[in-house]
Amino acid sequence: MPAGLDPAHAALLARGTVIPAHPLALDPARRLDERRQRALTRYYLDAGAGGVAVGVHTTQFTIREHGLLRPVLELAAEETARARGHRPVLRIAGACGPVRQAVAEAALARELGYDAVLLSPAGLPGPDLDALLDRSAAVGEVLPVVGFYLQEAVGGRPLPRAYWRRLADQESTVAVKAAPFDRYRTLDLVQGVADSDRGADVALYTGNDDTIVADLLTPYHVRTPAGPAVRHFVGGLLGHWAVWTRSAVRLLADAHAARAGDRAAAARALARLAGDTEANAAVYDVRGGFAGCIAGVHEVLRRQGLLDATRCLDPAEDLSPGQAEEIARVHTTHAWLREEDAFIADALPRWLSPTPTPREEER
């Protein structure tokens, strides 16, 4: 029988929330820095995120080769457990690779208390869409599945509208993350999900870090088996939201309010559209062909004190020339990015504490 979400977390996912893609904190020897890894999770929770996605691209897929998948999943599970005593917090684990590997990773996530799996199309060779769908169904017997349209620059592949209909047909599919960084392919995903009899039960989450605001504000007029309908991206599961997370929470609140008719909220969100994309271009290293995208996330967190360096597991993976200067420039340019600094500076000693902090225990 396909796995399902408990009612509280199903309601949160359907309503829409901020889900940062969790980075990886490393010490100078490029080993897991547990203290800072916990601090990152605490930051996301205190910033108001509704969940975390761990073991995904932003966490670095090669954690598997370094024996870090279990410990990284465990740390996030432990930290979110404190918050889950007071409110729903979604734990989403990344899984990839052939069927046996993906199912094993889903089983590990279930063992550690995760709610769903973000299933990457990366790591499964060949163009066989049936194989992708069979893998999703197999993983869906273990945990609910969040489908993933990954951009080609970091290992994705084109996926047609029919694929998304068939994925939405699977009872274990609870959401899809659209991250092709392509408007045409995003439309394929939205309409494909809508083509399914289960389309209304599958939450749409943006992963298009380059056009977050547009995705959240756009009404998608689609055709469904029951007739015309309007669908919306209800939230985001994003590497870009691993930084400036409190700002992301405010943006999503404005997007939801705008959809309910609040013109002032719509104006605030629209005012961020171009700047949000500009900030993402700096962080994700668009000029460098995305080579420094993970290091760019780390650079923002380093500037804020949450990380002490931009280290990645691969010593050759680092910021591109001029990328740090671009990040500094956009930070200076956009007020909503600077507003995060005081919040982080005030709470950082608590987040870096080796023991649970009072604020976390009182949630």
Residue 61 lies in a domain: yes
Residue 40 lies in a domain: yes
Residue 2 lies in a domain: no
Residue 323 lies in a domain: yes
**What pLDDT score does 168 carry?**
98
Kindly give the confidence (pLDDT) of every residue in the chain, 363 residues in length, as a single tens digit, with 9 standing for 90 and above: 677 899 999 999 999 999 999 999 999 999 999 999 999 999 999 999 999 999 999 999 999 999 999 999 999 999 999 898 889 999 999 999 999 999 999 999 999 999 999 998 866 666 688 999 999 999 999 999 999 998 877 777 889 999 999 999 999 999 999 999 999 999 999 999 999 999 999 999 999 999 999 999 999 999 999 999 999 999 999 999 999 999 999 999 999 999 999 999 999 999 999 999 999 999 999 999 999 999 999 999 999 999 999 999 999 999 999 999 999 999 999 999 998 999 999 999 999 998 655 554 444
Residue 1 lies in a domain: no
Residue 29 lies in a domain: yes
Domain tally, the chain: 1
- Which residues 6+ apart lie within 8 Å of 293 measured at CB? 154, 239, 283, 284, 285
- Which residues 6+ apart lie within 8 Å of 96 measured at CB? 61, 102, 105, 119, 120, 122, 123, 124
**What pLDDT score does 126 carry?**
61
Instruction: Give the integer Cα–Cα distance in Å for 251 and 269.
Output: 6
Is residue 44 a contact partner of residue 22, using CB atoms and an 8 Å limit? Answer: yes
Q: Give the structural domain span for 95.
A: 7-361
Q: How far is CA 157 from CA 21, 41, 59, 149, 311, in A?
A: 20, 30, 20, 8, 28
**What pLDDT score does 362 carry?**
43
Is residue 92 a contact partner of residue 237, using CB atoms and an 8 Å limit? Answer: yes
CATH number at residue 203: 3.20.20.70
Pairing type for strands 227-231 and 220-224 reads antiparallel
Residue 32 lies in a domain: yes
Instruction: Give the integer Cα–Cα distance in Å for 258 and 265.
Output: 5
Residue 143 lies in a domain: yes
